[in-house]
Amino acid sequence: MLSGIGLVVALPLASLIAAAVKLSDGGPVFFSQDRVGKGGRTFRGLKFRSMVPDADKRFGAVQASERDPRITPVGRLLRGTAMDELPQLWNIFRGDMSFVGPRALASAEVEVGASGAPVALSTIPGFAMRHSVTPGLTGIAQIYAPRDLPRRHKFRYDRLYVENQSFWLDIKLIALSFWITFRGKWEIREKKL
């Protein structure tokens, strides 16, 4: 119900964002990608496009870094305020996601090991545990882990959430998320809030 209300309330802002994305480089407004949800079920995740068109095809499905050259100028603003995530309210409305939980990862995403070779995420400890809950728009890893932290470390944050999941923890994480969004600090946030 909350995501449905959010979709309606966000419609004027979403329309402005869609126009800005389209006018910036003429590419598609939305970015959709197969994501892995609860129980390993895949779903189509939806976001406003913040990277150059066809970034995954051109560069591969890799984790974004802090000063990622694939990110467009409009995308940098969207990511800083997390407004690129607004269309995920539709994923929450459909039941693919929740407001709070581990980030829904791309099904084709890989980690780069110390040797530079790709490592399948499913081989990293903690990967399976994070799929015992519904993925979220925000969560402990999204708030506290630096963007370029390797997945094996982010999965520790996800495990912390799974083991301590509660209504009050969710409320705290949602409140912190609004605070970071209000400040526009998602891309450049400090390690301690």
Distant-in-sequence, close-in-space partners of 112: CB < 8 Å, separation ≥ 6:
62, 118, 119
| Beta-sheet pairing, 42-48 with 118-120 | unpaired
Q: Has residue 19 got a pLDDT over 70? A: yes
Among residues 80, 87, 70, which one has the least CA distance to residue 27? 70
Residue 110 lies in a domain: yes
Q: With the CA atoms of 154, 181, 42 and 14 taken in that order, what torsion angle do they form, in degrees rounded to the nearest 10?
A: -160
- The residues that bridge with 98 in the sheet, in sequence order, are 136
Is residue 191 included in any domain, yes or no? no
Task: Output the pLDDT for position 193.
Answer: 43
**Total domain count, the chain:** 1
One-letter amino acid at 118 equals P
**Inside any domain, residue 189:** no
Domain for residue 153, yes or no? yes
In a domain, 128, yes or no: yes
- Quick one: pLDDT band at residue 53, thresholds 50, 70, 90? confident
pLDDT in tens, 79-131: 888 899 999 999 999 999 999 999 998 877 767 666 767 777 777 778 888 88
Which residues constitute the domain of residue 176?
2-183
Q: What is the mean pLDDT of residues 46-73?
A: 80
User: Is 0.95 surpassed by the pTM of this model?
Assistant: no
Judge whether 47 lies within some domain: yes
